[in-house]
Structure 1
Amino acid sequence: MASSVDPKAARIALASDVGFVETPVYRSFKRRWYGLVALMLLNIVASWAWLSFAAISSNVKDFYGLSSETPVNWLSTVILFTYPIGSVPCAYVLNHHGIKASMVISAVFLVIGSWIRVAGAKCCSDSGSFGVLIFGQIIIGLGQPFALNAPSYYTDMWYTSKSRVSANALASLSNPLGGAIGQLVSPAFVTKTSEFPNSVLWTSIIATILCVPAFFIPSRPPFPPCPSAAKPKLPFSESFKALKCNCRFIIIFVVFSVLVGFFNSFSSLINQVMEPYGYSSDDAGIDGAVLIVAGIVYSAISSPILDRTHSFVLVLRIQIPVIVICYICLVFTQTTDHQLVGPYIVSGVLGAASFSLLPLALEWVQEQVFPVSPELTSSILWAGGNCLGGIFIVVMDALKYGPEQGNPPGNMRRSLIFQAAVAAAIIPLPFWLGTKDQLRNRRIEIDNAETSDHTVSPEQSL
């Protein structure tokens, strides 16, 4: 009687039993979505903590009895400057210990930093301790890279070339989503200065709950999802040599760092940009949320299209000039007539054009430098963006008019002009990336070269 056993399945089972695989086996697992959600939650917590105080800077200043909002700006800036310090051990942990170790470390730092902030707001004295609050921000800044640098590593391990951009978009853009939550929730929690300590407490409770799933993610898939994921990556020393000689990586590093830096600085200063013109903290919070939510919605639409078309360079060359135009428009949209339509429209377009470039740049760079380790490229890119963000905040705060200077007093028009001028300087860079023949998508080429016979479907569930 003929056997009903599938010969191919029998070969795979036998190969597994004896310790070798006769032919390559590639499989996507549904459990990858659980790990992605856990990574998204970590990034939401990290960014929420970063922008907890941006939209309520005047309340924070009054609560701690500060003479100006400059120290409040350092609550955001200190995280940005701490980020590159945390990126170095993050790259090592991802390379040597994997995604789960990185996410657990991030969760531990975020939870500890959040509760130190509670001590700085409630426990040290009736008026709190600004120094303890800053220390909590530093701890959060050290833990943030272990979550934000991880999406490229995670998508390379768990996803195919047909879904990496979309998965990276979900993980990377959850970071600005956390910022949007912070921009909206903080003004709602803090309607008067005395409510500030309780807002820090509730934020810490929520952060602790959202960090729990990170402790239960799988370390790696049983089988790679596609041929490129199975290829060995270069050691760190060789990866560094390859990156410093790759002009396309250097160009994207400059573009990515400048655009992420300005998003970080503008998001942190948005209340101070709008307040001199008579806008409320609620108006500033909504404007920051529009900036972020519009970017997330547009990315949700564009990322699946990019996964199918792989038109990375074309999008870069279109959207970077759009972003620069938006920064120029920001100089003119802040007016004393309190019209919100202009700021909201410009912020929406700016967010849509900026955020959709995040996963695109992170994934396209890896296509160009493969087989360089993805955790190294993402760590370098994010470190550059956060470091420049901190520098831009310091510069823009220094350019701010004094309380009795400018029209209206205390406005940040000079800061916005600086922002627009520096952004305009990067417009030529995407046009210097190279010719079509030079811009090879290496991982995609590897995956397309393999036959579909090596792929096992349907997806295996948990």
Structure 2
Amino acid sequence: MELKSLPPRITRHSGSRNGGAAPVSEEEGGGGEEEQQRIMPDDGAVVYQVYKERWFGLAGLMLMNIVISWGWLTYAPVSDSTQIWFGLDSQSPVNWLATVIFFTYGLCGLLLAVLYTLNRHGVKPALMASSFLVLVGNWIRYSCTQRKSFGGVMFGQILIGFAQPFVLSAATHYSDLWFTSRGRISATALTSFSNPFGAALGQLINLMLATSPEKIPEMTFWVAIIATVASLPWWFVKSRPPTPPCASAVGKKLGFKESLGVVFRNRGFLLVFVMFSVYLGFFNAMSSLLNQIMLPYGYTADEAGITGAILIVAGLVTSAIVSPINDRTHSFLTAIRIFVPIIALSYVALIFAPRTHTLAAPFAISALLGAASFSLLPLVLEWAVEQTHPAPPELTNVTLWVGGQILGAVFLIIMDALKDKDDNDKMWKSLIFEAVVACAVSPLTLMLGHSANRRIEIDKVAAQRIGAS
């Protein structure tokens, strides 16, 4: 059950991010709310409530993240067949189909458009822009795949990359608007994890769709069909709830310039930004290169695909347990200090896993890495919002994701360049590079100090006032 609370003297929400909605009584709230709590100050009634519609919008963000991520890794699981179909000299151009997605996320003009859209107009316009770009990008890819135009496929991939920030950056913004302090981590987790879940679907299903180079156009067609079906319904999602869910959702957020000062002068945020960027970057790079990491050691493409799926599924299952617990305990720092060393040690173990020539080692390490990475992701996103409130949550979200995506592209290029050309393109040097950097940043967790979770404290104070009234 989520916490619904309000300070006793709030009587109107004008100027808030909930559209300036006036307070409503129980009778005015309509049938859409699940729960509400009211007090009666001298000058009228105020209601905070959560709405069932929040799940529809959350589902929209999740599905869009899935199809965009599926688009990101459409060709990576079948890189050898893609190389043959387009007549490429190596698999490096295929790697660029994934790399370009990371770089598009970091375009300053695009990020400003994303921040403006979310801050001023909410989630609905962001989903509309994203779904349009996904539709156009996927069908351009299909048309150009039939004509064996690799440049055209790259252009379609760039459009899909433009779609990603509109939904990936909306996770904390949406949870801040529609959920209370006892549900935000779980909501952010569901939205954020749908991105790697789409990658897992691509790892498994695309292998079944493209069993030979001649099947590449057919695979691209079915991915486009799925993306089309997933994109259309979300034009009907609401941007904001009629009334805020809790006290911390009422206050007006800081302006953009003020927020930049609050965010980038926050020592804890800067430390977490470095860690998050490195670990997300390596996760993205490894997901893109998993096929090429395992195949030179005699593994099959199917076995590499299963390894990628285990990485995602183990993460989803673990996070489904960890996120609700942290929604209740709010033990952000403790959890971060547990998961970061596990991730670093997993990258060390990954150096030796392919050399065992067994499935047990890569399967086990992927499960451990996925479990720790997925559990860490929403914790960091929500902790950053707590530490920088009342800065808009989309600002910290965008900043963290940009760091991870840009480093993902840089790491992918470096790891591709470190292939051992004299030994069947084995990537042992790449895995050593990955492990060294991952271990180097892990001690930063010890530099994080304990500080107040600002939104949670606001809701606690509001709840105490209600209890005392």
Using the size of structure 1 for normalisation, the TM-score is 0.91
Aligned to 1:350: 369
Aligned to 2:101: 79
Does structure 1 conserve the Cα–Cα contact (< 8 Å) formed by 2:339 and 2:375?
no
CA shift, 1:219, in A, is: 1.8
CA distance in 2, matches of 1:87, 1:413: 35
The residue type paired with residue 431 of structure 1 is L
Does structure 2 conserve the Cα–Cα contact (< 8 Å) formed by 1:11 and 1:22?
no
Does structure 2 conserve the Cα–Cα contact (< 8 Å) formed by 1:260 and 1:385?
yes
The residue type paired with residue 345 of structure 1 is A
The residue type paired with residue 343 of structure 2 is I
Matches within 5 A, 1:439-458: 439-451=451-463
For 2:245, what is the secondary structure of its paired residue?
coil
CA shift, 1:13, in A, is: 7.0
For 1:202, what is the secondary structure of its paired residue?
helix
Matches within 5 A, 1:200-215: 200-215=220-235
- CA RMSD across the alignment: 1.8
Aligned to 2:405: 386
CA shift, 1:218, in A, is: 1.2
Is the counterpart of residue 111 in structure 1 residue 135 in structure 2? yes
Is the counterpart of residue 59 in structure 1 residue 81 in structure 2? yes
Q: 1:424 aligns with which of 427, 430, 439?
A: 439
CA distance in 1, matches of 2:28, 2:236: 29
The residue type paired with residue 399 of structure 2 is I
Does structure 2 conserve the Cα–Cα contact (< 8 Å) formed by 1:26 and 1:454?
no
Q: Deviations over 1:213-259 (max 9, x none)?
A: 21011121111000001111100110001111100110111111001
Does structure 2 conserve the Cα–Cα contact (< 8 Å) formed by 1:56 and 1:190?
yes
Does structure 2 conserve the Cα–Cα contact (< 8 Å) formed by 1:24 and 1:454?
no
> Structure 1 residues 64, 166: CA separation in 2 closer, same or farther (over 3 Å shift)?
same
For 1:427, what is the secondary structure of its paired residue?
helix
Is the counterpart of residue 175 in structure 1 residue 175 in structure 2? no
> Structure 1 residues 11, 253: CA separation in 2 closer, same or farther (over 3 Å shift)?
closer
The residue type paired with residue 449 of structure 1 is V
Does structure 1 conserve the Cα–Cα contact (< 8 Å) formed by 2:65 and 2:195?
yes
CA distance in 1, matches of 2:327, 2:381: 13
Does structure 1 conserve the Cα–Cα contact (< 8 Å) formed by 2:287 and 2:308?
yes
Aligned to 2:417: 398
Q: 2:54 aligns with which of 11, 29, 32?
A: 32
CA distance in 2, matches of 1:14, 1:36: 26
CA distance in 2, matches of 1:390, 1:22: 54
CA distance in 2, matches of 1:14, 1:49: 46
CA distance in 1, matches of 2:24, 2:64: 41
The residue type paired with residue 367 of structure 1 is E
> Structure 1 residues 119, 226: CA separation in 2 closer, same or farther (over 3 Å shift)?
same
Does structure 1 conserve the Cα–Cα contact (< 8 Å) formed by 2:24 and 2:46?
no
Q: 2:295 aligns with which of 266, 275, 290?
A: 275
The residue type paired with residue 77 of structure 2 is A
For 2:49, what is the secondary structure of its paired residue?
coil
For 1:391, what is the secondary structure of its paired residue?
helix
Is the counterpart of residue 69 in structure 1 residue 99 in structure 2? no
CA distance in 1, matches of 2:369, 2:329: 23
CA distance in 2, matches of 1:454, 1:206: 48
CA distance in 2, matches of 1:156, 1:217: 16
CA distance in 1, matches of 2:24, 2:234: 36
Does structure 2 conserve the Cα–Cα contact (< 8 Å) formed by 1:15 and 1:22?
no
CA distance in 2, matches of 1:454, 1:188: 57
Q: Which structure 1 residue ranges, 4+ long, deviate > 4 Å from structure 2?
A: 13-16, 452-455
Q: 1:325 aligns with which of 342, 345, 366?
A: 345
Is the counterpart of residue 298 in structure 1 residue 310 in structure 2? no
Is the counterpart of residue 338 in structure 1 residue 350 in structure 2? no
CA shift, 1:299, in A, is: 0.5
For 1:450, what is the secondary structure of its paired residue?
helix
CA distance in 1, matches of 2:403, 2:120: 23
Does structure 1 conserve the Cα–Cα contact (< 8 Å) formed by 2:25 and 2:46?
no
CA shift, 1:92, in A, is: 1.3
Is the counterpart of residue 48 in structure 1 residue 70 in structure 2? yes
- Identical counterparts, % of pairs: 48
Q: Deviations over 1:42-82 (max 9, x none)?
A: 00011000011111100100101111100000000001001
Aligned to 1:98: 122
CA shift, 1:21, in A, is: 7.4
The residue type paired with residue 111 of structure 1 is L
Aligned to 2:16: none
Q: Deviations over 1:419-455 (max 9, x none)?
A: 0000001111111011x3xx11100000011137879
CA distance in 2, matches of 1:191, 1:312: 44
Aligned to 2:33: none
Aligned to 1:89: 113
The residue type paired with residue 249 of structure 1 is F
CA shift, 1:132, in A, is: 0.3
> Structure 1 residues 213, 21: CA separation in 2 closer, same or farther (over 3 Å shift)?
farther
